Amino acid sequence: MFDFFKPAPHIEEIQDPAVVKKNYLYWRIRIFYSMYVGYAFYYLTRKSFTFAMPFMMTSLGYTKAQLGILGSILYITYGLSKFFSGIISDRSNPRYFMSIGLIITGLVNISFGLSSSLIFFAIFWGMNGIFQGWGWPPCARLLTHWYSQSERGRWWGVWNTSHNIGGALIPLLCSFVAKAYGWRSAMMVPGFLCIGAGLYLLNRLRDTPESLGLPAIEKYREDYPSKKIEEEQSELSSREILFEYVLKNRYIWALGIAYFFVYVIRTAVNDWGQLYLYEYKHFSLQAAATCIVWFEVGGFFGSLAAGWSSDYLFGGKRGPVNVLFSFLVVLMLIFMWLMPANTYLFAAIGMFSVGFLIFGPQMLIGIAAAELAHKKAAGTATGFAGYFAYLGAAAAGYPFGKIAQEWGWPAFLGMLAACGLITVMILLPMWSIKARSAAPEKV
């Protein structure tokens, strides 16, 4: 089984420049749209339960607290899986790693839809979190190997919008299917779709350029992050990747802690925004729900803007955009608190702006983690940072619900603004850092 997942071996490099250029163009486009579609489908099986949950409560009689346990299980298992899967994926072929993970999440969703016991719900949803973690690290590996330093921000930014496409499609799909055919179908339909998408990935993806006879991306584009690092061509052991380039790298720790607070904001606004607008700003539930769509729309454009600006305005530096976007999030959270009640235009502007700004660091911190570790440690570095991110997502659940319940919504927004300021302070010292040097920056 482990041989099946091994990275594809390097083959003899093609010497004809015209053939190299033609093949690079073809494979870069094919790999990009394939992993874009694949990651959007990961969202279908990750968020299916969220939109099937109201129908499950009516059908099975479970309480919010009981079903809320399942959401916490997903965040915890997904966060852990992102880290450990990152370690494994750096020594694996992303073609098989990403596609098999998507197929298994589809099977788990189908199994969930066939169950009725809370115990089995917890088992299957925990398994879903584990295999959801197989989606991100292969994408980090592919984006690092196929796109070079000076262009990576905009490519990664476009790829990051797959979050928003998947996040916008799943409520439409699940709500329609659940209303027409019941909550079980709302879990099973995304499952079958993701099995098909996993088979599609298996056909379309490939591993590194070198496995197809192409030169490394830095050589092809003559775009080295600092100076030529000959060690790029050597394989690293899992221990070297984890300890030398991640756990001993002070930048990765700083990015991980910043990621925690970014995900607190992202998840809290996404999960609690509708209730905030309904209770505190006196919107109808329907109007409040449509405002959440603006959050995803803002995230779509924010990812593109962050990637473009980090490449073109700051020469491949991710720090300035991370700091500026994080600071502006604080101002927009204050706006969301002070805006007039029941004014849809202001709420839509606020949600769009928060989504636009928070998806900037949500995306760029991942890029920075990949760039500040070894190229062959991209999956481990982003998985490690992602573990902190989903601890933040878990913290946005019960703790922030308790804050809103005990101290009110102004305190809720005040704590989110504080998270934004902490993010700024953590990221500010990394303003001028572009990419790693030949040696890891040790703690």
What is the rounded CA–CA span in Å between residue 344 and residue 277? Answer: 10
Which residues have CB under 8 Å from 234's CB, separation 6+? none
pTM comes to 0.77
pLDDT score recorded for residue 179: 81
Backbone angles phi, psi at 249, to 5 degrees: -95, 110
What is the rounded CA–CA span in Å between residue 187 and residue 116? Answer: 12
pLDDT score recorded for residue 236: 59
Using the Cα atoms of residue 276, residue 279, residue 280 and residue 282 in order, give the sign of their dihedral. Answer: positive
Backbone angles phi, psi at 442, to 5 degrees: -85, 155
pLDDT score recorded for residue 237: 63
What is the rounded CA–CA span in Å between residue 119 and residue 123? Answer: 6
Q: Please list the ranges in the chain whose pLDDT falls under 70.
A: 1-2, 64-65, 225-240, 435-443
User: Over the stretch 380-407, which tens digit does the pLDDT of each residue have?
Assistant: 888 888 889 988 988 887 788 788 888 8
Domains in the chain, CATH or no CATH each: 15-218 (1.20.1250.20), 238-443 (1.20.1250.20)
User: Over the stretch 187-240, which tens digit does the pLDDT of each residue have?
Assistant: 999 999 999 999 999 999 999 999 999 999 999 998 876 555 444 445 556 666
- Residue closest to 365 by CA, chosen among 253, 258, 439: 258
Rounded to the nearest 10 degrees, how much is the dihedral formed by the CA atoms of 164, 77, 74, 413?
A: -70
pLDDT score recorded for residue 231: 45
- Residue closest to 140 by CA, chosen among 305, 386, 315: 386
Question: Which uninterrupted H or E stretch holds 365?
Answer: helix 344-371
pLDDT score recorded for residue 159: 92
- Cβ pair 56, 208 in contact under 8 A: no
